[in-house]
Amino acid sequence: MSTVTGPRSQDAQDRQTPSEADPSVAGLTVGLGGPSGRFARLSSSWWTPLRIALAVCTITMALGVLQKAPCMEAGWDRQSWRPFKALCYSDIGFLYQERGFAEGNRPFLDTGNYPVLEYPVLTGGFMEVAAQITWVITGDPKKDITVEQKRDTAGVFFVVNVVLLFLCALVIVGLTVATARGVASRPGAARGQPLDALYVAAAPALALTSTINWDLFAVALTAGAMYAWSRGRPIWFGVLLGLGTAAKFYPFLLLGPLLIVCLRGRKLWPWFQALVAAIVAWGVVNAPIYLLAKNEWMSFWTFNDQRESDYGSIWYVLKLANHEVADVNQLNLVIFGGLCLSIAILGLMAPRPPRFAQLAFLVVAAFLLINKVYSPQYVLWLLPLVTLARPRLRDWLIWQACECFYWMLVWMHLAQFLAPGNPELPDRIYWLSVVLRMAGTLWLMLVVSRDILLPENDPVRQGDVIDDPSDGVKSDALLPARA
């Protein structure tokens, strides 16, 4: 059955509804009246795609905060196993106490009887802003306070960060809506599917991992860069990407996929503009800290270089299985270089120019799969990219199920719930969760690669009209010849 209420507006005709675009969604509507009909009035409601996505994101984030309630109630005590047993662990409350913030110190510039902050400069700045707000609420942190008071203050710091990260999530969803709309102003271009942003807004992984760490800040800057490119602003793309790299390293990886897109589209000048802008933006943010506190600035790079194989990675599983790889850093570089070369060949040899989001997803996913640490919150890096690269319910559900399974098992592993009766035996079910998580990501990589090789299967591509609705930078081949 289809709902028929009147002719569609021109705006509604420019885009398909989810029930029309995705067979899996259409199947779910059978009990609700079926997919929308050709005469359905779709644009008369106050609930625009943006408002729907923002409302859903708000509900998702609220559920995530409720999920962290046991840890908020018990306080952020490193000696307690409660964060793992209750599946509510977060770095935020603990690092406030363990990186000098509880004493009123600034990241990088102040030192004391605590480890140097092992985060990039802009993430340290984000933490500093949250700490300043916390101190306004709780009072002067320089005065002597008890351990219990520190934990109480850490709870306020956590709440402040929840609010700031919630704003980041709203920004990500809003920018994904805008990017997914495509470039409607281009001649012959159809609008994209802004409701695809629900794959970000409603993701269980967003609720479960958004407040584990500060990754959402870098993801918001990266989403801003993707939006800038979709609107034909390569310099702003570079600026936001450089800022994102100053918050987390992974946004820098997007310059590689963009190069392949620009080579196929004969638009190397916009790519060069983006590259220079990214380097300048990253340098401007990092230079003051580098000049004032070089050793502290180096802590992020030193920490990641010297870090051993850690939770979530295949290398950690091999270490648990007594097959530890001696030099993971070098092997990572070799494998990642080979994967990037394969993705580049795929992009250059594809029958039609691949979409930027497709190649960006493949590169970031490859980086995560072979990285020596794959923390639960790293799934947030992929959320906007998956939405733009492969907005299909079936594939999204498979991936999210694998991520949620791993999220649950890693805390149970840390709480030693999975340890068998014999202490000599490893908890192989945790190994399974790591492999299953990697399999879910590999599944998405395979279907995205298939879409590149068989463009007719791409759920986003607008047939023969336009290759990438979210690419707003014109090709040099389309520009008039210069005199």
Summarize pLDDT for 18-34 with one digit per residue, the tens.
555 555 554 444 444 45
Mean pLDDT within 236-264: 97
**Which of 48, 36, 44, 41 lies closest to 7, judged by CA?**
41
In the chain, what percentage of residues exceed pLDDT 70?
Answer: 84
Note the pLDDT of residue 421. 59
Of 216-225, 297-306, 453-462, the range with the lowest mean pLDDT is 453-462
Rg of the chain over Cα atoms, rounded to whole angstroms, equals 23
Read off the tokens for 225: 């860069």
Instruction: Give yes or no for a contact between 208 and 410, defined as CB atoms under 8 angstroms apart.
Output: no
Note the pLDDT of residue 178. 93
Instruction: Give yes or no for a contact between 402 and 342, defined as CB atoms under 8 angstroms apart.
Output: no
Q: Provide the sign of the torsion angle of the four alpha carbons 392, 397, 398, 399, taken in this order.
A: positive
Mean pLDDT within 287-304: 96
pTM (predicted TM-score): 0.89
Burial class, 133, CB count within 10 angstroms (exposed 0-12 / middle 13-18 / buried 19+): middle
Q: Under 8 Å CB-to-CB from 478, ≥6 apart: which residues? A: none
12 vs 279, more confident: 279
Note the pLDDT of residue 462. 67
Mean pLDDT within 232-243: 97
Q: Which residues pair with 462 in a beta bridge?
A: 466
Summarize pLDDT for 307-351 with one digit per residue, the tens.
999 999 999 999 999 899 988 999 999 999 999 999 999 999 999
**Which of 198, 174, 170, 176 lies closest to 393, judged by CA?**
198
Q: What gap in Å lies between CA 137 and CA 60, rounded to an integer?
A: 27
Burial class, 10, CB count within 10 angstroms (exposed 0-12 / middle 13-18 / buried 19+): exposed
Whole-number Cα distances in Å, 282 to 82, 294, 308: 39, 16, 27
Summarize pLDDT for 160-185 with one digit per residue, the tens.
999 999 999 999 999 999 998 864 43
Read off the tokens for 237: 């793309």
Residues making up the chain, counted from first to last: 483
Q: What gap in Å lies between CA 289 and CA 152, rounded to an integer?
A: 30
Q: Under 8 Å CB-to-CB from 452, ≥6 apart: which residues? A: 346, 347, 350, 354, 358, 359, 458
The domain ranges of the chain are: 46-472
State the DSSP string of 77-113: -TT-SHHHHTT---HHHHHHHHSSGGGTPPTTT---S
Q: Under 8 Å CB-to-CB from 82, ≥6 apart: which residues? A: 70, 71, 74, 88
Note the pLDDT of residue 420. 67
